[in-house]
Structure 1
Amino acid sequence: MLVYAVAMVLAFGSSSALRYSAVWSVPLGLLILSVLTSTRVSAVLAGPVLVRLGVIGYALFLLRAVVLEGFGAVHSGSLSNALLALGWIGFAVLIAEGAHRYIGVPGRRWVLAVARRQTARV
């Protein structure tokens, strides 16, 4: 998907119409669904890097504004701007990992501890 996104940015630049257009998301979704049926692809998807991206997925979703608004308009045909976009995506993944590890996990543990204490009283 990252290769597809960089190719679209290089070919057409970034505009809000391009980012949210069903013209680009529907074919990509169909391609992903058809490729996922392969056993080789499913083995790759079960790898540690993609599993980790799944674990931090919610934190990354919450930080999507960093990616969408962070690098601003990207002009088409420029490799440096496409690399800048990849840099912002990497920065968002790094922040999401930290948010999950240092805020999400301890917060979830605290909530579960409070819930256990409350149920033990009842």
Structure 2
Amino acid sequence: MIRKIVLYIALSLTLITVGYFSFIYYIPYSEGVRSGELIKISHKGFVVKTWEGELSQGISGAQIFAFSIMDNETAIIEQLKQNQGKKVTLEYEERYKTFFWWGDTRYFVTKVSLEK
């Protein structure tokens, strides 16, 4: 009897954990597009390195869009490196939450295009 209860509790906790991580990983909160001058792209971190960037959307320093890039998005990382200092358009997904091994922000770039 007690073994069944412990088994049900363990199974429930496992399903809740898997559901939570799946929700965070697969379900975006919003999607959008931002344009501006790409002012920073860096690979930072002490133990876990993540790709982070900043996009200036105006004259004021208050209009900085901070974003992250997933490690497996090597093509996007290379495009950002090549277009540093140029005007770009970024398509992104906003997540409900993030994990420390993904990046510092909830905004993840999915596409980069150079403005003409």
Question: Aligning the two structures, in what range does the TM-score lie when normalised by the shorter sequence?
Answer: under 0.3
Higher RCO (C-alpha under 8 Å, 6+ residues apart): 1
Report the TM-score when normalising by structure 2: 0.21
TM-score by length of 1: 0.20
